[in-house]
Amino acid sequence: MMRLKEYVPILGSFLFSIYISAQPAEKLIKVIVAPNEIDWTYAVGEQAEFSITVLKNNIPMKDVMINYTIEPEAGLEQIKILDSGVLLLKDGKTTIKAKRFNEPGFLRCRVTVEVAGKEYSSFATAGFSPEKIVPTTTLPSDFKEFWNKGKEALSEVPMNPVLTLLPDRCTDKVDVYHVQLDNIKGKIYGVLCTPKKAGKYPGILRVPGAGVTFYFPNVSEAEGGFITFSIGIHGIPLTLDRDVYRNLEDGALENYWTFNLDDRDNAYFKRVYLGCIRAVDFIESYEHFDGENIGVTGQSQGGALSIITASLDSRIDYLAAFYPALSDITGFLHGRAGGWPQIFVDDYTNKPEKIATSKYYDIVNFARFLKVPGWYSWGYNDLICPPTSMHAAYNVITSKKELHIVPETGHWRYQEQLESKNKWLFGKLKKSQE
């Protein structure tokens, strides 16, 4: 039985775990780069052509000098420039033809201009048969056995849920609780939003982006008729002062994704992945859950955790992921872009035991076993989770799936994408109740 204790309001903030680079800010000088295909996508062997426009006051500038490079999406120091040059744009516009690209992947055109001593730049990324990209990581023979043992060990740990009411976060329609659960090691904490109106509701598990940050309860979804459970992954309460999270991110938890990377049984993400399953345990046990319908959603690291949770836990019915991280992270070892956290790029991480451990935590290998419908979205201009890495995972999924590419986006998304995701996920969960 759950233990519930009243909590006198002392909160100043919650963990807001959306790891997302801000949408680029508007500037006086705009450099616009775009491939000549409306979807920015070509077949292997075709020739991309990039249009370039430099605007001031939204009018093409005359007699402006640009520098450009064209390069494959190899990332970091592995970038090999295929073409570069300097051009004078007499009327503020020009086009550049790239060399033919003869393998599945991505080609990027970068443009820089200096105006009044200030540098402005932009880029665009063209895709070439991305549906043919194959992973560089491989599937360990005991992958499923390893995670089944992890789940068995978790099942032996009592959940011991403690719910703490947060009155200052509640509304007239929604109750908000801070939740503590026992995990495979230590605790897992989350924020539960539940409708006050009596009834049974579908559940939504919200998994966090990277970092140690703070966020607020998702009251609007609960007002829409859902139980939402937003979790942190670091085993620390979500009711602490903001400075605690900042100090942990810059100190004890800096680069947490590399902790014990040479030991598959003690790697940092083992407790995290199993903690997501523990969060599903909690939703399943909650008295107002409808007993059947659970969706999981997140972006970046949260996009990865959405795929992982849906793969490991058959109680998940739908997943929705924006630009998933932790995908094909061995890409850099094969001369192409790997997914966040882009770790296999130096002598510190490029060790056989670390590479071997990564295969148990790469979302490509979880994606292979997905059985539930999924909604996915990302852009070609993402430098944090390169599109090559995300397509490597998406292409091995055999369950029902739909991909919504918005090519110009980087590690961010438009409001329209969020609305599309919500319409899909909410619609699926509501329909399942009928």
Task: Give 73-92 as a DSSP string.
Answer: S--GGG---SEEEEEEESSS
Asked whether the predicted pLDDT for residue 67 surpasses 60, the reply is: yes
Instruction: Judge whether 263 counts as a catalytic residue.
Output: no
Q: H or E element: which one contains 107?
A: strand 105-115
Find the mean pLDDT for residues 168-188: 96
Both structure tokens of 420 = 């599309």
Nearest 5 degrees, angle CA 321-CA 146-CA 336? 50
| Token code pair at residue 405 | 């590419």
For residues 263 and 433, what is the distance between their CA atoms, to the nearest angstrom?
Answer: 43
CB 421 within 8 A of CB 377: yes
Give me the catalytic one of 300, 311, 327, 420.
Answer: 300
Taking the C-alpha atoms of residue 194 and residue 228, their distance in angstroms, rounded to an integer, is 7
Query: What span, in angstroms and rounded, lies between the C-alpha atoms of 304 and 209?
Result: 9
Determine how many CB atoms are found less than 10 A away from the CB of residue 129.
Answer: 17
Check if the beta carbon of residue 154 is closer than 8 Å to that of residue 274: yes
pLDDT at 18 over 90: no
Is the pLDDT at 169 greater than 80? The verdict is yes
Distances (CA, A) of 242 to 168, 214, 246, 257, 326: 17, 7, 7, 21, 26
What average pLDDT does the segment 173-198 reach? 96
Is residue 304 predicted with pLDDT exceeding 50?
Answer: yes
Average pLDDT for 138-160: 98
For residue 196, pLDDT beyond 90:
yes
Burial class (CB in 10 A: 0-12, 13-18, 19+), 28: exposed
**Does the pLDDT value for residue 215 go beyond 90?**
no
Evaluate if residue 24 carries a pLDDT over 90.
no
Mean pLDDT of 268-291: 97
Region 225-249: what's the mean pLDDT? 95
pLDDT over 80 at 257, yes or no: yes
Span 262-274, mean pLDDT? 97
The residue written with tokens 């309001």 in the block is 9
Instruction: Please provide the average confidence, as pLDDT, over all residues in the chain.
Output: 92
From 4-13, 129-138, 297-306, the region with the lowest mean pLDDT: 4-13
Q: What average pLDDT does range 93-115 have in this prediction?
A: 95
Mean pLDDT of 58-80: 84
Q: What is the per-residue pLDDT for 25?
A: 81
Least confident of 60-74, 83-97, 212-226, 252-266: 212-226
Output Rg (C-alpha) for the chain, integer angstroms. 23
In angstroms, the CA 147 to CA 427 distance is: 31
Is pLDDT above 90 for 181?
A: yes
Say what the pLDDT of residue 125 is. 97
- Span 315-324, average pLDDT: 98
382 is catalytic: yes
Res 216 pLDDT > 50 = yes
> Looking at residue 247, what DSSP letter applies?
H
- pLDDT value at residue 23: 75
Concerning whether 411 is annotated as a catalytic residue, the answer is yes
Catalytic one of 382, 389, 391, 420: 382
Q: How many CB atoms are closer than 10 A to CB 34? A: 18
Question: Which domains does the chain show, CATH number per domain?
Answer: 29-132 (2.60.40.1930), 143-433 (3.40.50.1820)
Q: Is the peptide bond before 341 cis (omega within 30 degrees of 0)?
A: yes
Q: How many angstroms from the chain centroid is the CA of residue 189?
A: 20
Say what the pTM is.
Answer: 0.93
Please tell me the predicted confidence (pLDDT) of residue 22. 62
Query: In the structure, what pLDDT confidence band is assigned to residue 5 with cuts at 50, 70 and 90?
Result: very low
2 pLDDT above the threshold of 50 = no
Lowest mean pLDDT among 326-335, 340-349, 414-423: 340-349
